[in-house]
Amino acid sequence: MVRALVAAAVLATVCGTGAACATVCGTGHRTAGQTGTGDGTGHAAAGPTRPEAAGPTRHDAAGPTGRAPDDEPFFVAPGSHAARQATTWRAAGRTADAHLMDRIAARPQAEWLTGPHPEAAVRDRTTAAARHRRTAVLVAYYIPQRDCGAHSAGGAPSAAAYRAWIDAFAAGLGDRDAYVVVEPDAVPHTVAGCAQVVPAERYALLAYAVDRLGRQSGTRVYLDAGNPGWIPDPARLVGPLRSSGVTRADGVALNVSNFHTDRTTSSYGKRLSGLLGGTRLVIDTSRNGNGPHLGPGTDLWCNPPGRALGRPPTRRTGDPLIDAYLWIKRPGESDGTCRGGPAAGRWWPSYALDLAANAHD
């Protein structure tokens, strides 16, 4: 996920990761829950073109309220909070609001796996995606001492339990196509000094996850590396990421649940990539359409006002180093109980509506 406008700008940046800044500003970008569908999904917190990035290729896409471009591979799951909200508002005569909600419902979003038994949920999501000749986007979020004990505290009770959980996750994947983001905030939290974890133990668990998930033939693995505001000097991440298996992953994920612009995040990512020998990137663009909130306060990462949906998910990034722009955080799910929001990961219709209304597309 340095500090303040210098103060404000930095906090928005620093604690830009939802889960990350637990030790500094609290987190809240994530919550525990079985599959990230309302009680633990867009929980990632804080945390960012290539013409045709390498990866699974698909030819048609279907969504609950509309079709994705025919050359985009990612799966749009029916029955999302946004899709149900649009249906409810249409029935109530709120057609304009329902149309805005379609901007979220029709886009592919990640599924968060946050509870103890991931295999069935992973199998269900990847099977549904394969049925539509699409690629699922999943988030593995169950590392011990998750979120450094803050809003999204939880995770596996032991290292052995985590390895078993990763084995079950991998079994659910089978040989079906998936992009998997591994443990948002886990590396940056450790670099930032989370006292609850032993760095070498955590990095070994992350390396196990990268290696085990990477053995699935259809899976592309991206290890989370935070965001530009959390660890401003990417050189600090290099050793920890290497220890966590990044050289055997398909790349790193940036800006998860955060608000940094594509330009800021890609610039940061390219610096990091250069230090890692050319590792590739995926960037979370779910809520960065207006960039980070720079107003007063110390919780600028948590449900900031005036934000907007960002670039829709795509592999057509225009940059040979960036594999995809993804909606990893699920737009409309709360960062935490700040600014009148519900618990982290819970659906918040009014916030979702603002994100959609402020979108530039």
Catalytic residue among 102, 323, 335, 354: 335
Catalytic residue among 185, 224, 250, 284: 185
- Could you give the CA distance from residue 347 to residue 341 in angstroms, rounded to a whole number? 9
For residues 114 and 154, the answer to whether their CB atoms sit within 8 Å is yes
- Could you give the CA distance from residue 27 to residue 46 in angstroms, rounded to a whole number? 8
- Could you give the CA distance from residue 157 to residue 302 in angstroms, rounded to a whole number? 27
For residues 180 and 220, the answer to whether their CB atoms sit within 8 Å is yes
71 catalytically annotated: no
Q: Scan for tokens 């599959």, then name that residue.
A: 35
81-91 vs 95-105: helix crossing angle, rounded to 10: 160
Catalytic residue among 147, 250, 262, 284: 147
- Could you give the CA distance from residue 96 to residue 100 in angstroms, rounded to a whole number? 6
185 catalytically annotated: yes
Phi-psi domain of 185 (left: phi exceeds 0; alpha: psi -120 through 50; beta: other): left
299 catalytically annotated: no
Active site residues: 147, 185, 335
